[in-house]
Every structure is written in structure tokens, then in C-alpha cells.
Amino acid sequence: MNSSDNALLTIEGKTYSLPIVHGTEGERAIDISKLLQETGCTTLDLGYKNTASCTSRITFLNGNKGILSYRGYGIEELAEKCLFIEVAYLLVHGHLPTATEYDHFRNLLNRFSLIHEDMIHFFDHFPPSAPPMAILSVMVNSLCSYYPEMNDDLTTDIDLTAARLISKIRTIAAFSYKKSLGKPLIYPRPELPYCANFLNMMFDNPVEPYTVRPEAVAALNKLLILHADHEQNCSTATVRLVGSAGVNLYASIAAGINALWGPLHGGANEAVIAMLEAIHQDGGNFQKYIDKAKDKSDAFKLSGFGHRVYKTFDPRGKIIKNACDELLAVLNVHDPLLEIALRLEEVALKDAYFIERNLFPNVDFYSGIIYRALGIPTNMFTVMFALGRLPGWIAQWKEQQEDPRSKIGRPRQVYMGEPARPFVPMSER
């Protein structure tokens, strides 16, 4: 990060010089760290559309060019050539693992793949209709009770805790699914790699053995890689903000899970399927839904379309769309919702409303088609997003904890309420 020039700001005739910070890829930011102290003014930026909350060495996005990279590696190459666990290691540790480092990481993930047997009783007390994201955040938050080392000292073996979380979240997700069906839990198996182990825990059962298909494992690895990090999105910013108060990693991640749940964020992957199913039920009348999305009097938004940063195709969406075709062909699955999604995209991208606003399909538009082909229920799609995003959340939390400049996050506001006024006792109101 170098500051080689300044921005000039004039307020009531006085000019202030603010340093401009330059990022690795040429991004520029005006450093306003001393703005309030020097000018008495804060800045107002609803939704933080124009605000960088931190510097980071983890992920780079270029929203105009549709570029996404983790630690300098392009997402396309990582999705094509890596396993999810390699990318998780890259995000958390800053480099791709050597064979020795990878084996050590895999052994840790195996060692940590069980959850405390007492935690299994937690599942008995959720109603069958409990949202999987609610269960996930409760269970992840509860891990700090079983591994209290970080409760007092956040720097206590972050890397071990990272491996513990990455491994256990997979078991928690699969166990919650089995419990929701009243089916026996399938425990992790030491010989199965990360994604195969998850699919086996989800779909194996004692009387109908599940065959883990390599094509399904490959598709899941790719999906989890594509979701692994995305700079300062809503849930990652939440993890950082909660962590900035000195909260342990488990509880910070649980906060991120809750932020991801929203239909404007990670919950969109489930909302996309609901939208496509509604269009399917409606005889494929996608124009009706495009018109609803354009109607300002209607709160409906086209789920899976649009993005705060990408103003062109989301590079992840392009890869997932191609992976859809490959997986459905090899599994010989015909999903009518894919045809509807393809037509919806085609018509929307020719519509002036979407063109003028640079609204393109995002990561959530096609991901549900793959999850469906894998047999994952719709109400677990956002859980799948969380499984993928976990290494990114951990890497971002760790980076903040290790930054000596880090402070508790505490934005300001502009007060627009009542001016000071005298108290009136109730008898006189």
C-alpha cells in the first residue's frame, strides 16, 4: 500500500489535503482516517457503497471487468485445478499448500471431523421445521463452549481452530439434514476426502448404500471454491465487525452465518429456486416476473440478478452455468428449471431496464440447479453457501486479528431526530 498523492477537500473556504491510498491492482481510496479530527465532518455512505472498511491481502474483485482472485490466483484456474481444501488452505494461510502441508491439513480435518456427542442431542430440540441456517448458527456458536481456548485469548491457535471449524461445519450440516428426516446419522469416514465425505454423510444410509460419484464430488469442489471468499460482502463485513469487538472465531462465524441467511445475500440461492418454480407453475410465464421486477410499486426483485460490485457477468456465475450443463448431462438429469433460468437470463439481458442498471446473473442464479442435481434440498442451499464461504470468513477474521492497526468497528451517523426539548410529565401530555 503506498500513498503517492493526495485529494483536496474544501469546506467553508478551508482546504484539506487527504492522502490517496493505492491498492495492488490500481484501486484508489481517499484515506479519511483524520477527517473528523481535522474538519469536524464525518462522511455519509448508505450501505457503504463507496467505502473501503479495511485493506486486505486476501481477495481481489474488479466489478467492471468481472475479475475475482484469491491471494493473486484467478478463480477460473483455482476452480479448474484445485480441490476446495487446497483453496481453503490458500485463503487461511496465504499460499497454496505443499504436499506435506496438504497432508497435514487433511489429517487435521479428519481428526476434527466429529462433533462432541453431547452436541448431537441439540438436534433433538429443534422442531422439524427449523430452518437449517438457524440450526447451523446455533451449533457453530456452541462450539466455543466445547473448545473454550479462544474465549479468553483470540490468538490461541487460530490455525487449529480454522481446521476444526472447516471440518465440523460439514458434519453439523449433514447431521442436521439426517435429523430433519428422522434418519440415522452417518459418521465421517477417514478414507473419504472432504467433499466425498460430506456427500456420503448426507446421502448414505444403512439399508440403501450411497455411491459417491466422482462427477458429483468434482461439481461440489468447484461450487465450494467459487463461494470461498468475496472481499468485504455483507457476511464477511459482519464477521470482521463482530471479531473487532474481541469475540472468538466461533461466535464471529455464527454472526456471519446469520448475515448470509438474508435473501438479498446468500439466501438468494434458495429464493432463485422458489422464483423459478413459481414461473414453472405459472406455465413458464417468465415475462410476468421480469415485469414484476421492473415495477417500482412491487418489492419483487429478480433473485440471482444484480450485484453491488459486479456490473458485468459475475465470473463465478459463468463457471457455475457451464458446470450445470456438464453435471446434468453426466448424471442424466433433466431439470425444467434450468431451461427456465436460461430463458429468463436471455430475455432479461435484452431488456433495457436490466441493461441500463448493469444487472447480470450473479453467483446464486445457477448454483441451485447444481445443488438440486446433487440431491441437496432447497432449504439447505444457503447452508452450502456457508460451507464454501467459511474459509474466507476465517481468513478475513484472522487478517483483522493480526493487523496491529485494527480497531473496534464503530461507524458514526447523522442525527436527523428531534432537537433538544423539555421533558413533559405524563400528567401534562
Shortest approach of ligand SDX to residue 125 CB, angstroms?
Answer: 31
The residue at minimum Cβ distance from ligand SDX is 306
CB of 376 closer than 8 Å to CB of 216: no
Please write down the HEC assignment for all residues of 111-179: HCCCCCHHHHHHHCCCCCCCCHHHHHHHHHHHHHHHCCHHHHCCCCCHHHHHHHHHHHHHHHHHHHHHH
Among 188, 304, 315, 368, binds ligand SDX (CB under 6 A): 304
Site pattern 67..106 for ligand SDX (x: CB under 6 A): ----------------------------------------
Catalytic residue status for 307? yes
| Residues 362-373 as b or e (16 or more Cβ within 10 Å = b) | bbbbbbbbbbbb
The sign of the dihedral angle between the CA atoms of 256, 262, 264, 265 is positive
The closest of 304, 242, 255, 228 to 133, measured between CA atoms, is 255
Taking CA atoms, 311 is separated from 49, 174, 184, 306, 315, in Å, by 13, 35, 46, 8, 11
Q: Strand, helix or coil at 65?
A: coil
Catalytic residue status for 364? yes
How big is the site for ligand SDX, counted in residues (CB under 6 A)? 22
Among 301, 311, 318, 343, binds ligand SDX (CB under 6 A): 301
Identify residues 232-251 at the interface with ligand SDX (CB under 6 A).
233
Regarding 179 and contact with ligand SDX (CB under 6 A), the answer is: no
Site pattern 341..380 for ligand SDX (x: CB under 6 A): ----------------x-x--xxx----------------
**Rounded to the nearest 5 degrees, what angle is found at the Cα of 230, between the Cα atoms of 85 and 269?**
85
Shortest approach of ligand SDX to residue 236 CB, angstroms?
Answer: 7
Identify residues 248-287 at the interface with ligand SDX (CB under 6 A).
264-266, 268
User: 97 or 304, CB closer to ligand SDX?
Assistant: 304
Write out the catalytic residue numbers. Answer: 307, 364
**Contact positions vs ligand SDX (CB under 6 A):** 47, 230, 233, 264-266, 268, 293, 301-309, 357, 359, 362-364
